[in-house]
Amino acid sequence: MTSLRVGVIGAGVFGGHHAGKAAASDHAVFAGVYDPHPSRAAAIVEKHGGAVFDDEQSLHAACDAVIVACPASYHEASVRAALEAGLHVLVEKPLSLSHASADALVNLAEEKGRVIQVGHQERLVLAAMGFFDIEETPIEIEAVREGPPAPGGRAGDVSVIWDLMIHDLDMAAKLMGDGAEVSARGEKHHSDHIDEASAQLAYEDGRFASIRASRAAANRNRSMAVTYPSGKITVDFLTRQVVNSTRHPIRVDVSDELPDPLGAADEAFFGACLGLADTPIPGRVAAEAVRLAEGAEESALKSIG
């Protein structure tokens, strides 16, 4: 197989982005879209080609792989159905909404011999910046990701923990390793779910991560500070400023090397399905982010009472 028949489940903003990547790829043939609102699927098909499918099963029959870009609360069911149909799966974060189900999905993919990749493409950004070249293990991480409510209530089916914070939970797990104990606090503002949360990850050896996320802030803030035994790296992702007292070189502007992180992640998925390379964001490691998010969600809900 030299090209992959790829379909998209979900015709929202990210579904449209993924459809465009598949349609433009030399390694993929864009098969089309399923969405419960056919007019939304038709708009993507009009732009990128392919077909509008009446249900997920008919989409499966026309594909070798699917990209799951529907709301997070439907991820588990859509991923499982695709895997059971024998397809490779790229799913937008989170993989699912419980650690038990995330593990079950990864196990199913392994049993079927299928690729399962999760949309934590910020791992590719950190890799391009040079963080994964640092041999030291961080002793402390602080991360902030906040902004105003999303237009149209995007991701309103889940809390900010599953919507935004999970990116930094995944980043902390990648840099600091598995096994952290999680505690969190949260507040509801404009939705039925937690809109603002702060989480603490504590490791047995005393290492620590503090992560804050909000979709109820007045202004955008996206920053992180990583402390190593040799010093500290502070990054403001909005202004692209870095303060670095370590001996390790870090690049904040990676636009030349990685101009399109989503496109790079999709291409990596297509290549993994074709056996050209391993996926850079496998489901097994993404399941740790689900474990942390689940723990943060449970703890934050208790803080609300």
Q: Are 7 and 62 in contact (CB under 8 A)?
A: yes
Query: Cα-Cα-Cα-Cα dihedral of 247, 165, 152, 158, to 10°?
Result: 160
Question: Largest Cα–Cα distance of the chain, in whole Å?
Answer: 57
Per-residue pLDDT tens listing for the chain (305 residues): 678 999 999 999 999 999 999 999 999 999 999 999 999 999 999 999 999 999 999 999 999 999 999 999 999 999 999 999 999 999 999 999 999 999 999 999 999 999 999 999 999 999 999 999 999 999 999 999 999 987 766 657 899 999 999 999 999 999 999 999 999 999 999 888 999 999 999 999 999 999 999 999 999 999 999 999 999 999 999 999 999 999 999 999 999 999 999 999 999 999 999 999 999 999 998 999 999 999 999 999 999 86
Query: Cα-Cα-Cα-Cα dihedral of 73, 74, 79, 82, to 10°?
Result: 180
Which residues are CB-neighbours of 219 under 8 A, at least 6 positions away?
Answer: 147, 148
Q: What is the pTM of this model?
A: 0.94
Per-residue burial over 262-282, b = 16 or more CB atoms within 10 Å of its CB, e = otherwise: ebbbbbbbbbbbbeeeebbbb
Domains of the chain: 4-119+261-281 (3.40.50.720), 122-252+290-304 (3.30.360.10)
